[in-house]
Structure 1
Amino acid sequence: MSSFGFGTLTVALFALVCCSGSDEKAFEVHVRPEKLITSLNKILLAEQAQWKHYLISNISHDTVLWCHFTCSGKQESMSSNVSVYQPPKQVFLTLQPTWVAVGKSFTIECRVPAVEPLDRLTLFLLRGNETLHSQTFGKAAPALQEATATFSSTAHREDGHHNFSCLAELNLTSRGGDVFQKHSAPKMLEIYEPVPDSQMVIIVLVVSVLLFLFVTSVLLCFIFSQHWRQRRTGTYGVRAAWRRLPQAFRP
Protein backbone atom coordinates (compact mmCIF):
# COMPACT_ATOMS: atom_id res chain seq x y z
CA MET A 1 0.00 0.00 0.00
CA SER A 2 1.41 3.41 -0.93
CA SER A 3 0.24 7.02 -0.81
CA PHE A 4 1.51 10.52 -1.53
CA GLY A 5 1.61 13.48 0.74
CA PHE A 6 3.41 16.65 1.67
CA GLY A 7 3.16 18.19 5.13
CA THR A 8 -0.04 16.53 6.39
CA LEU A 9 -1.58 13.14 5.67
CA THR A 10 -4.78 11.56 6.92
CA VAL A 11 -4.27 7.82 7.37
CA ALA A 12 -7.01 5.30 7.98
CA LEU A 13 -5.42 2.04 9.12
CA PHE A 14 -7.75 -0.92 8.77
CA ALA A 15 -6.74 -4.17 10.42
CA LEU A 16 -9.23 -6.49 8.72
CA VAL A 17 -6.93 -9.41 8.05
CA CYS A 18 -8.00 -11.24 11.20
CA CYS A 19 -9.64 -14.56 10.93
CA SER A 20 -13.42 -14.45 10.93
CA GLY A 21 -15.15 -14.91 14.22
CA SER A 22 -12.33 -13.48 16.32
CA ASP A 23 -13.12 -11.78 19.60
CA GLU A 24 -13.20 -7.98 19.13
CA LYS A 25 -12.08 -7.40 22.73
CA ALA A 26 -8.80 -9.16 21.99
CA PHE A 27 -8.17 -6.99 18.93
CA GLU A 28 -5.61 -4.16 19.31
CA VAL A 29 -4.29 -1.66 16.73
CA HIS A 30 -1.34 0.75 16.97
CA VAL A 31 1.00 2.45 14.48
CA ARG A 32 4.58 3.61 14.43
CA PRO A 33 6.47 5.36 11.60
CA GLU A 34 9.69 3.65 10.69
CA LYS A 35 12.82 5.74 11.54
CA LEU A 36 10.78 8.97 11.91
CA ILE A 37 9.26 8.52 15.33
CA THR A 38 10.39 11.90 16.69
CA SER A 39 9.70 14.01 13.60
CA LEU A 40 6.12 12.92 12.85
CA ASN A 41 3.09 14.01 14.84
CA LYS A 42 0.17 11.61 15.21
CA ILE A 43 -3.34 12.59 16.25
CA LEU A 44 -6.00 9.94 16.79
CA LEU A 45 -9.12 11.17 15.02
CA ALA A 46 -11.47 8.22 15.50
CA GLU A 47 -11.41 4.56 16.40
CA GLN A 48 -13.54 1.48 16.72
CA ALA A 49 -12.84 -2.06 17.81
CA GLN A 50 -11.08 -3.08 14.61
CA TRP A 51 -9.58 0.18 13.28
CA LYS A 52 -8.03 3.49 14.23
CA HIS A 53 -7.94 6.70 12.20
CA TYR A 54 -4.85 8.94 12.57
CA LEU A 55 -3.80 12.35 11.29
CA ILE A 56 -0.07 12.27 10.48
CA SER A 57 1.65 15.68 10.13
CA ASN A 58 5.13 17.17 9.75
CA ILE A 59 5.99 14.79 6.89
CA SER A 60 9.13 15.90 5.06
CA HIS A 61 10.67 12.63 3.82
CA ASP A 62 9.53 9.34 2.35
CA THR A 63 8.57 7.00 5.15
CA VAL A 64 6.80 3.75 5.99
CA LEU A 65 3.89 3.55 8.41
CA TRP A 66 3.48 0.27 10.22
CA CYS A 67 0.26 -1.00 11.74
CA HIS A 68 0.79 -3.65 14.42
CA PHE A 69 -2.20 -5.49 15.82
CA THR A 70 -3.15 -8.59 17.77
CA CYS A 71 -5.78 -10.90 16.40
CA SER A 72 -6.84 -13.88 18.53
CA GLY A 73 -3.59 -13.67 20.42
CA LYS A 74 -1.46 -13.62 17.24
CA GLN A 75 0.77 -10.63 16.37
CA GLU A 76 0.20 -9.24 12.88
CA SER A 77 1.41 -6.15 11.00
CA MET A 78 0.69 -4.15 7.87
CA SER A 79 2.67 -1.33 6.25
CA SER A 80 1.89 1.73 4.17
CA ASN A 81 4.51 3.54 2.09
CA VAL A 82 4.23 7.33 2.12
CA SER A 83 6.07 9.20 -0.65
CA VAL A 84 6.62 12.94 -0.30
CA TYR A 85 6.34 15.14 -3.41
CA GLN A 86 6.78 18.80 -4.27
CA PRO A 87 5.14 19.84 -7.58
CA PRO A 88 6.80 22.47 -9.79
CA LYS A 89 5.62 25.93 -8.80
CA GLN A 90 8.02 28.10 -10.82
CA VAL A 91 9.54 27.51 -14.26
CA PHE A 92 12.13 29.92 -15.65
CA LEU A 93 13.16 30.08 -19.32
CA THR A 94 16.28 31.87 -20.63
CA LEU A 95 17.23 32.52 -24.28
CA GLN A 96 20.87 33.43 -24.87
CA PRO A 97 21.35 35.55 -26.88
CA THR A 98 17.93 37.05 -27.52
CA TRP A 99 19.11 38.78 -30.74
CA VAL A 100 20.72 36.28 -33.12
CA ALA A 101 21.63 36.14 -36.82
CA VAL A 102 20.34 33.42 -39.13
CA GLY A 103 22.73 30.47 -39.06
CA LYS A 104 24.20 31.38 -35.67
CA SER A 105 23.69 29.29 -32.53
CA PHE A 106 21.63 30.15 -29.48
CA THR A 107 20.94 28.37 -26.18
CA ILE A 108 17.67 27.56 -24.42
CA GLU A 109 17.85 26.98 -20.66
CA CYS A 110 15.02 25.89 -18.37
CA ARG A 111 15.26 25.99 -14.56
CA VAL A 112 12.78 24.56 -12.04
CA PRO A 113 13.59 25.01 -8.33
CA ALA A 114 12.56 22.70 -5.47
CA VAL A 115 10.91 19.69 -7.12
CA GLU A 116 10.55 16.23 -5.58
CA PRO A 117 10.90 13.43 -6.54
CA LEU A 118 13.27 14.39 -9.36
CA ASP A 119 13.19 10.93 -10.94
CA ARG A 120 9.52 11.59 -11.85
CA LEU A 121 10.23 15.01 -13.40
CA THR A 122 10.54 15.70 -17.13
CA LEU A 123 11.42 19.07 -18.67
CA PHE A 124 10.24 19.81 -22.23
CA LEU A 125 11.81 22.66 -24.22
CA LEU A 126 9.25 23.83 -26.77
CA ARG A 127 9.17 25.97 -29.92
CA GLY A 128 5.49 26.65 -30.35
CA ASN A 129 3.97 23.18 -29.90
CA GLU A 130 7.09 21.38 -31.13
CA THR A 131 9.32 19.64 -28.59
CA LEU A 132 12.95 20.55 -29.26
CA HIS A 133 14.39 18.67 -26.30
CA SER A 134 13.23 16.70 -23.26
CA GLN A 135 15.21 15.74 -20.19
CA THR A 136 14.59 13.38 -17.29
CA PHE A 137 16.49 13.02 -14.02
CA GLY A 138 17.76 9.84 -12.40
CA LYS A 139 17.08 8.56 -8.92
CA ALA A 140 20.56 9.54 -7.80
CA ALA A 141 19.70 13.21 -8.20
CA PRO A 142 19.37 14.98 -4.81
CA ALA A 143 15.88 15.94 -3.69
CA LEU A 144 14.56 19.50 -3.59
CA GLN A 145 17.32 20.80 -5.84
CA GLU A 146 17.06 23.00 -8.91
CA ALA A 147 16.42 20.97 -12.06
CA THR A 148 18.03 22.38 -15.21
CA ALA A 149 17.75 21.49 -18.91
CA THR A 150 19.88 23.13 -21.61
CA PHE A 151 19.65 22.84 -25.39
CA SER A 152 21.64 24.55 -28.17
CA SER A 153 20.17 25.14 -31.63
CA THR A 154 20.88 26.99 -34.87
CA ALA A 155 18.72 30.02 -35.63
CA HIS A 156 16.40 29.86 -38.66
CA ARG A 157 14.23 32.57 -40.20
CA GLU A 158 11.03 30.94 -38.96
CA ASP A 159 12.28 30.94 -35.35
CA GLY A 160 11.34 34.60 -35.12
CA HIS A 161 7.66 33.69 -35.62
CA HIS A 162 7.38 31.17 -32.74
CA ASN A 163 7.25 31.39 -28.97
CA PHE A 164 9.78 29.42 -26.95
CA SER A 165 8.69 27.94 -23.62
CA CYS A 166 9.43 25.22 -21.08
CA LEU A 167 7.01 22.66 -19.65
CA ALA A 168 7.79 20.95 -16.33
CA GLU A 169 5.84 17.74 -15.77
CA LEU A 170 5.88 15.75 -12.53
CA ASN A 171 4.27 12.38 -13.31
CA LEU A 172 3.26 10.38 -10.22
CA THR A 173 0.81 8.00 -11.92
CA SER A 174 3.16 5.02 -11.52
CA ARG A 175 2.97 5.54 -7.75
CA GLY A 176 -0.75 6.11 -7.60
CA GLY A 177 -0.59 9.91 -7.82
CA ASP A 178 -1.48 12.58 -10.37
CA VAL A 179 0.32 14.50 -13.12
CA PHE A 180 1.40 18.05 -12.27
CA GLN A 181 2.35 20.48 -15.06
CA LYS A 182 3.71 24.01 -15.02
CA HIS A 183 4.62 26.22 -18.02
CA SER A 184 7.16 29.00 -18.16
CA ALA A 185 6.35 32.41 -19.58
CA PRO A 186 6.81 32.35 -23.39
CA LYS A 187 9.72 34.20 -24.97
CA MET A 188 10.66 35.10 -28.55
CA LEU A 189 13.92 35.38 -30.48
CA GLU A 190 14.84 38.41 -32.57
CA ILE A 191 16.15 37.00 -35.88
CA TYR A 192 18.05 39.12 -38.42
CA GLU A 193 19.86 38.46 -41.68
CA PRO A 194 23.65 38.80 -41.57
CA VAL A 195 25.10 41.49 -43.90
CA PRO A 196 27.77 40.19 -46.39
CA ASP A 197 31.24 41.79 -46.16
CA SER A 198 31.15 43.20 -49.75
CA GLN A 199 27.79 44.79 -49.13
CA MET A 200 29.08 46.30 -45.91
CA VAL A 201 32.03 47.88 -47.79
CA ILE A 202 29.65 49.43 -50.32
CA ILE A 203 27.47 50.82 -47.54
CA VAL A 204 30.50 52.36 -45.82
CA LEU A 205 31.68 53.96 -49.09
CA VAL A 206 28.26 55.40 -49.89
CA VAL A 207 27.92 56.83 -46.39
CA SER A 208 31.42 58.33 -46.62
CA VAL A 209 30.70 60.01 -49.99
CA LEU A 210 27.41 61.41 -48.74
CA LEU A 211 29.11 62.75 -45.64
CA PHE A 212 31.85 64.37 -47.78
CA LEU A 213 29.28 66.02 -50.06
CA PHE A 214 27.36 67.32 -47.08
CA VAL A 215 30.44 68.86 -45.46
CA THR A 216 31.56 70.36 -48.81
CA SER A 217 28.15 71.92 -49.43
CA VAL A 218 28.18 73.47 -45.96
CA LEU A 219 31.64 74.96 -46.54
CA LEU A 220 30.69 76.34 -49.98
CA CYS A 221 27.56 77.92 -48.58
CA PHE A 222 29.60 79.58 -45.87
CA ILE A 223 32.23 80.91 -48.35
CA PHE A 224 29.64 82.32 -50.77
CA SER A 225 27.69 83.94 -47.97
CA GLN A 226 30.81 85.69 -46.70
CA HIS A 227 31.73 86.87 -50.21
CA TRP A 228 28.24 88.23 -50.85
CA ARG A 229 28.26 90.00 -47.49
CA GLN A 230 31.61 91.67 -48.23
CA ARG A 231 30.38 92.93 -51.63
CA ARG A 232 27.25 94.44 -50.12
CA THR A 233 29.18 96.09 -47.29
CA GLY A 234 31.76 97.62 -49.74
CA THR A 235 29.06 99.22 -51.97
CA TYR A 236 27.24 100.79 -49.07
CA GLY A 237 30.53 102.26 -47.76
CA VAL A 238 31.31 104.08 -51.04
CA ARG A 239 27.83 105.59 -51.22
CA ALA A 240 28.06 106.85 -47.66
CA ALA A 241 31.46 108.49 -48.27
CA TRP A 242 30.15 110.15 -51.46
CA ARG A 243 27.29 111.72 -49.57
CA ARG A 244 29.61 113.14 -46.94
CA LEU A 245 31.77 114.96 -49.53
CA PRO A 246 31.18 118.74 -49.78
CA GLN A 247 29.28 119.95 -52.79
CA ALA A 248 32.33 121.80 -54.07
CA PHE A 249 34.33 118.62 -54.46
CA ARG A 250 31.64 116.81 -56.39
CA PRO A 251 31.88 116.85 -60.20
Structure 2
Amino acid sequence: MQRIAVVEDDQHIRDIVNAYLEKEGYEVTLMETAEEGWSLWESHPPDLWILDIMLPGMSGYELCKRIREESEVPIIIISARDEEVDRVLGLELGGDDYITKPFSPRELVARVNRHVKRWQAYEKTKQSSEGQGVYGNGLLRLDPNERRVFWQEEEVEVTSKEFELLSILIEQLNRAYSREELLDRVWGEDYFGSDRAVDDLVKRIRKKMPDIPIETVWGYGYRLREQGGER
Protein backbone atom coordinates (compact mmCIF):
# COMPACT_ATOMS: atom_id res chain seq x y z
CA MET A 1 0.00 0.00 0.00
CA GLN A 2 1.41 3.38 -1.02
CA ARG A 3 1.60 6.00 1.70
CA ILE A 4 0.50 9.58 0.97
CA ALA A 5 1.26 12.53 3.25
CA VAL A 6 -1.16 15.48 3.11
CA VAL A 7 -0.05 18.78 4.68
CA GLU A 8 -3.03 21.16 4.66
CA ASP A 9 -4.28 23.51 7.40
CA ASP A 10 -7.89 23.53 6.16
CA GLN A 11 -9.67 20.63 7.88
CA HIS A 12 -12.48 20.52 5.31
CA ILE A 13 -9.99 20.06 2.47
CA ARG A 14 -8.00 17.50 4.49
CA ASP A 15 -11.12 15.44 5.12
CA ILE A 16 -12.19 15.47 1.46
CA VAL A 17 -8.72 14.57 0.16
CA ASN A 18 -8.41 11.84 2.79
CA ALA A 19 -11.76 10.28 1.85
CA TYR A 20 -10.95 10.16 -1.88
CA LEU A 21 -7.41 8.83 -1.41
CA GLU A 22 -8.46 6.14 1.06
CA LYS A 23 -11.22 5.07 -1.34
CA GLU A 24 -8.49 4.69 -3.98
CA GLY A 25 -6.61 2.35 -1.65
CA TYR A 26 -3.90 4.64 -0.30
CA GLU A 27 -2.69 4.89 3.29
CA VAL A 28 -3.01 8.57 4.21
CA THR A 29 -1.29 10.65 6.90
CA LEU A 30 -2.88 14.05 7.58
CA MET A 31 -0.99 17.01 9.01
CA GLU A 32 -1.72 20.69 9.61
CA THR A 33 1.79 22.16 9.58
CA ALA A 34 5.03 21.87 7.63
CA GLU A 35 6.84 21.18 10.89
CA GLU A 36 4.74 18.03 11.33
CA GLY A 37 5.54 17.12 7.75
CA TRP A 38 9.28 17.47 8.30
CA SER A 39 9.08 15.27 11.41
CA LEU A 40 7.29 12.62 9.35
CA TRP A 41 9.97 12.88 6.64
CA GLU A 42 12.72 12.26 9.16
CA SER A 43 10.96 9.34 10.85
CA HIS A 44 8.74 7.58 8.30
CA PRO A 45 8.98 9.08 4.77
CA PRO A 46 5.86 8.63 2.60
CA ASP A 47 5.75 7.66 -1.07
CA LEU A 48 4.16 10.94 -2.19
CA TRP A 49 3.47 14.39 -0.72
CA ILE A 50 0.52 16.73 -1.17
CA LEU A 51 1.55 20.14 0.17
CA ASP A 52 -0.38 23.34 0.70
CA ILE A 53 1.74 26.48 0.30
CA MET A 54 0.20 28.87 2.80
CA LEU A 55 0.73 27.19 6.16
CA PRO A 56 1.21 28.52 9.68
CA GLY A 57 4.89 28.60 10.60
CA MET A 58 7.12 27.01 7.98
CA SER A 59 5.69 27.44 4.48
CA GLY A 60 4.93 24.64 2.08
CA TYR A 61 7.60 26.08 -0.23
CA GLU A 62 10.25 25.61 2.44
CA LEU A 63 9.14 22.06 3.22
CA CYS A 64 9.16 21.24 -0.49
CA LYS A 65 12.69 22.62 -0.84
CA ARG A 66 13.96 20.63 2.18
CA ILE A 67 12.47 17.36 0.96
CA ARG A 68 13.78 17.88 -2.56
CA GLU A 69 17.32 18.41 -1.28
CA GLU A 70 17.24 14.84 0.02
CA SER A 71 14.93 12.90 -2.30
CA GLU A 72 13.05 12.88 -5.60
CA VAL A 73 9.86 11.51 -4.04
CA PRO A 74 6.82 12.98 -5.88
CA ILE A 75 5.48 16.27 -4.50
CA ILE A 76 2.13 17.74 -5.56
CA ILE A 77 1.57 21.35 -4.51
CA ILE A 78 -1.96 22.63 -3.88
CA SER A 79 -2.56 26.34 -3.45
CA ALA A 80 -5.15 29.07 -3.67
CA ARG A 81 -2.51 31.19 -5.40
CA ASP A 82 -2.83 30.74 -9.16
CA GLU A 83 -0.42 33.39 -10.41
CA GLU A 84 2.19 32.12 -12.85
CA VAL A 85 5.03 33.27 -10.59
CA ASP A 86 3.70 31.09 -7.74
CA ARG A 87 3.33 28.08 -10.02
CA VAL A 88 6.84 28.50 -11.44
CA LEU A 89 8.34 28.99 -7.98
CA GLY A 90 6.69 25.84 -6.67
CA LEU A 91 7.96 23.78 -9.59
CA GLU A 92 11.46 25.26 -9.45
CA LEU A 93 11.73 24.46 -5.74
CA GLY A 94 11.11 20.82 -6.60
CA GLY A 95 7.37 20.32 -6.94
CA ASP A 96 6.35 17.76 -9.56
CA ASP A 97 2.85 19.14 -10.01
CA TYR A 98 0.83 22.23 -9.06
CA ILE A 99 -2.94 22.36 -8.67
CA THR A 100 -4.94 25.42 -7.68
CA LYS A 101 -7.90 25.64 -5.30
CA PRO A 102 -10.73 24.98 -5.66
CA PHE A 103 -9.88 21.70 -7.36
CA SER A 104 -11.66 18.51 -8.27
CA PRO A 105 -10.81 15.69 -5.83
CA ARG A 106 -11.06 13.26 -8.73
CA GLU A 107 -8.48 15.27 -10.68
CA LEU A 108 -6.16 15.24 -7.66
CA VAL A 109 -6.52 11.47 -7.34
CA ALA A 110 -5.76 11.07 -11.06
CA ARG A 111 -2.59 13.10 -10.65
CA VAL A 112 -1.60 11.13 -7.56
CA ASN A 113 -2.07 7.87 -9.48
CA ARG A 114 0.07 9.13 -12.35
CA HIS A 115 2.93 10.23 -10.11
CA VAL A 116 2.83 7.04 -8.03
CA LYS A 117 3.09 4.93 -11.19
CA ARG A 118 6.02 6.99 -12.45
CA TRP A 119 7.76 6.72 -9.07
CA GLN A 120 7.27 2.94 -8.98
CA ALA A 121 8.66 2.66 -12.53
CA TYR A 122 11.66 4.77 -11.57
CA GLU A 123 12.36 2.65 -8.47
CA LYS A 124 12.12 -0.52 -10.55
CA THR A 125 14.53 0.85 -13.15
CA LYS A 126 16.94 1.96 -10.44
CA GLN A 127 17.00 -1.50 -8.88
CA SER A 128 17.63 -3.23 -12.22
CA SER A 129 20.27 -0.83 -13.55
CA GLU A 130 23.54 -2.44 -14.57
CA GLY A 131 26.98 -1.40 -15.67
CA GLN A 132 29.29 1.38 -14.64
CA GLY A 133 30.25 4.69 -16.17
CA VAL A 134 33.65 6.29 -15.69
CA TYR A 135 34.36 9.85 -16.73
CA GLY A 136 37.73 11.21 -17.88
CA ASN A 137 40.69 10.63 -15.57
CA GLY A 138 38.58 9.38 -12.70
CA LEU A 139 37.60 12.78 -11.30
CA LEU A 140 33.95 11.87 -11.82
CA ARG A 141 32.71 8.30 -11.52
CA LEU A 142 29.13 7.02 -11.60
CA ASP A 143 28.08 3.60 -10.39
CA PRO A 144 24.57 2.88 -11.81
CA ASN A 145 24.32 -0.39 -9.86
CA GLU A 146 24.39 1.39 -6.52
CA ARG A 147 23.39 4.85 -7.76
CA ARG A 148 26.57 6.33 -6.31
CA VAL A 149 28.63 9.29 -7.47
CA PHE A 150 32.32 9.91 -6.76
CA TRP A 151 34.00 13.25 -7.41
CA GLN A 152 37.77 13.53 -6.96
CA GLU A 153 37.72 10.12 -5.24
CA GLU A 154 35.19 11.32 -2.63
CA GLU A 155 31.62 10.03 -2.59
CA VAL A 156 28.99 12.73 -3.03
CA GLU A 157 25.38 12.36 -1.91
CA VAL A 158 23.08 13.21 -4.81
CA THR A 159 19.35 13.05 -5.45
CA SER A 160 17.95 10.82 -8.17
CA LYS A 161 17.41 13.75 -10.56
CA GLU A 162 20.98 14.92 -10.00
CA PHE A 163 22.17 11.39 -10.76
CA GLU A 164 20.02 11.20 -13.91
CA LEU A 165 21.34 14.51 -15.20
CA LEU A 166 24.96 13.47 -14.65
CA SER A 167 24.24 10.12 -16.33
CA ILE A 168 22.95 11.93 -19.42
CA LEU A 169 25.83 14.41 -19.62
CA ILE A 170 28.40 11.65 -19.20
CA GLU A 171 26.97 9.68 -22.16
CA GLN A 172 28.71 11.94 -24.66
CA LEU A 173 31.41 14.18 -23.26
CA ASN A 174 31.62 17.65 -24.87
CA ARG A 175 28.19 17.28 -26.47
CA ALA A 176 25.84 20.19 -25.82
CA TYR A 177 22.42 19.10 -24.52
CA SER A 178 19.55 21.55 -24.78
CA ARG A 179 17.52 22.43 -21.70
CA GLU A 180 14.43 20.99 -23.39
CA GLU A 181 16.11 17.61 -23.98
CA LEU A 182 17.40 17.46 -20.42
CA LEU A 183 13.97 18.43 -19.10
CA ASP A 184 12.26 15.68 -21.13
CA ARG A 185 14.76 12.99 -20.15
CA VAL A 186 15.04 13.81 -16.44
CA TRP A 187 11.51 15.00 -15.61
CA GLY A 188 9.52 13.26 -18.37
CA GLU A 189 7.78 14.54 -21.47
CA ASP A 190 4.57 15.33 -19.57
CA TYR A 191 6.33 17.78 -17.22
CA PHE A 192 4.90 21.25 -17.76
CA GLY A 193 7.18 23.34 -15.56
CA SER A 194 9.79 25.90 -16.56
CA ASP A 195 13.10 24.77 -18.06
CA ARG A 196 14.71 26.83 -15.29
CA ALA A 197 14.35 23.65 -13.26
CA VAL A 198 17.36 22.37 -15.24
CA ASP A 199 19.39 25.44 -14.26
CA ASP A 200 18.51 24.89 -10.61
CA LEU A 201 19.58 21.23 -10.81
CA VAL A 202 22.93 22.15 -12.38
CA LYS A 203 23.44 24.79 -9.69
CA ARG A 204 22.90 22.17 -6.99
CA ILE A 205 25.39 19.80 -8.63
CA ARG A 206 28.02 22.54 -8.94
CA LYS A 207 27.59 23.40 -5.30
CA LYS A 208 28.17 19.78 -4.28
CA MET A 209 31.07 19.25 -6.69
CA PRO A 210 33.11 22.47 -7.02
CA ASP A 211 35.10 22.70 -10.26
CA ILE A 212 33.08 19.98 -12.03
CA PRO A 213 33.44 20.94 -15.71
CA ILE A 214 29.76 21.34 -16.54
CA GLU A 215 29.80 24.15 -19.08
CA THR A 216 26.88 26.46 -19.75
CA VAL A 217 26.05 26.81 -23.43
CA TRP A 218 24.43 30.21 -23.28
CA GLY A 219 20.93 30.35 -24.68
CA TYR A 220 20.89 26.58 -25.22
CA GLY A 221 21.86 24.23 -22.42
CA TYR A 222 24.83 22.40 -20.90
CA ARG A 223 27.75 20.10 -21.71
CA LEU A 224 30.19 18.10 -19.64
CA ARG A 225 33.76 18.83 -20.69
CA GLU A 226 36.60 16.31 -20.62
CA GLN A 227 38.70 18.91 -18.85
CA GLY A 228 37.84 21.87 -16.67
CA GLY A 229 36.89 25.14 -18.27
CA GLU A 230 34.70 28.19 -17.97
CA ARG A 231 31.20 27.59 -16.66
Same fold, judged at TM 0.5 (above): no
Structure with the greater alpha carbon radius of gyration:
1
Q: RCO greater where, 1 or 2, for CA within 8 Å and sep 6 or more? A: 1
Q: TM-score if structure 1 supplies the norm length?
A: 0.24
Q: TM-score if structure 2 supplies the norm length?
A: 0.25
